[in-house]
Structure 1
């Protein structure tokens, strides 16, 4: 009778590794791969989640070109991204450079800036909703005490609502990017600055000749992540404005939520989601192609 050949140490180690990977792989397939494929198929259908699955081809995608609601949401998302991402990254870089310069109470300031990011987004939104309340909020109260008789309506004004949400988003997100930049700054060798000082370089020259080029890999990463996160903003909109007043803060993800879970048009919502995916994919591809010319590894 033949005996099974025992596994070698290498084979046992490989088997143990696969066993550790299996739960994550199962979760990835169940909650990422299958929903992505299902939503792609739904984008070519007219389905409310309960009735029959009706295949309608590219009708949902063609409908997007005639839907004013989608156009407004798309424009709002683009404005949100174009404004919030550069401001967030620039402010985070300035704070990181300042903290890296060796200020006193470094850990205290670093924690204070990073704390909003780890705070629940819903809690942040509720606090800012109270602070920027047009009639009873402390911000408008301070503005009135300074002589401004008609302070902004913030979240209740069509002119200020989107800007107000962006300000809260920037305040909430800036700590995450600050930590990334600070880690990148601390990885720059000191001898580069010492050599520059011997050559007579000033602080501005050091920043543009050493700091920025050395940080380009981190900047590249934060730009990609920043754009993706800004296009995905939902919870702040949901709590602060619910897309209003009017449609001034209605962004793509909030529109997708409304179409899918309030109007129960899962096919059309899936088409919107894949348009959003395509926009992010194109931007990311352009960045990955262009980074060869400006990122220094």
Structure 2
């Protein structure tokens, strides 16, 4: 049997433990919480005692999730899993939780001890890393890697629905002159503004990505007939008619667009991108501020 001193030490250790801990009775009513649980959830002890853990449920996990958890612990087995909880102020946090049943001398389950490790920061870090891996650091648009993934999915969808796709390769005419005369800060602002205009000019089902520099891509999806592509290309061109304003500067932007079509011009993203790129350079050589389709003469 543990001495009074040992019990006091154990109580202090649990109360001040870094991980959040709560104890419930068999019916799920909270009978004890430690300081870390109060800090993590935003509730004080008086608000938690007598309540059930439902007080911090976020609604992210469905009923089946909790049914499986309760089925496990009621038969005396520990349960471990990751779940999203909701603080008193409404903000969400993610924990890795281990629930351990406690037993009476007769072997009946009487209480449950839940220990939670806050993994919100880890998830946030993973989210940032994933965003860096799949999105352009300047504009936030999908980068080349994500674009090719989205393109491959779009191809599968188009094949099933017997539709076409249009890949539009866009390049800003004389962007280097903007950087040289107004500086890279204005150049970066311009690229961000271009990304916003492109996103606003295309349809919701279309994808806008940045390859790098002043090169952007638009993937026009759900194209029934080839003739449906031209209104989309013209709408993108029209979006660049008004000048961009940055403080005291006004910048007029002209763009050149090269277009390739799936499946007419190729059956994969690499081939279609190369052909749209070739069509874009032909448009640029002819004065730019226009669009053109890839042809066998490129």
TM-score (norm. length: structure 1): 0.21
Q: Which has the higher strand share?
A: 2
Highest RCO, 1 vs 2 (Cα 8 Å, sep ≥ 6)? 1
TM-score (norm. length: structure 2): 0.21
